[in-house]
Amino acid sequence: MTDHAYTRISFDSRVSGSIAKQRARLARHSPDAVVYEERSVSGAKVPFADRDEGARLLAALQPGDRVLATKIDRVARNVRDLLDLVERIEREGASIVFVDQSIDTSGPMGRFLLTLLG
């Protein structure tokens, strides 16, 4: 099992420190995760699978893997992209965990919460 930690910011600003904060929170959850870092990419305009790091992460998934993100809005900004992404991850035999929101799609309650919040 491999953990894949995904971080994204829409506007690359050294002042915000957003990427560093996301990385730190994800590292506390899984210190050995492979990190995928997306800078200056709009989550509303570019679907996850069409982003450079998003596509690289999806291509690397194996059964039993976990995708980690701090919050839902880091991976998707609309419900359709979110649900398509979760379906694709689950087809690969993997799951997704949003650490700040305590949502883990490896179980039915996590999938329910994700759909409700999405």
Mean pLDDT of the chain: 89
Phi, psi of 39 (to 5 degrees): -120, 140
65: alpha, beta or left, given left = phi > 0 and alpha = psi -120 to 50? beta
pLDDT of 77 reads 84
Among 7-11, 16-20, 27-31, 38-42, the range of highest mean pLDDT: 27-31
Tens digits of per-residue pLDDT, 72-100?
Answer: 989 998 888 898 999 999 999 999 999 99
Give all domains of the chain, ordered by start, each with its CATH number: 3-117 (3.40.50.1390)
Residue 112 pLDDT: 81
pLDDT band with cut points at 50, 70 and 90 for residue 17: low
The per-residue pLDDT for 16 is 57
- Mean pLDDT of all residues in 56-71: 97
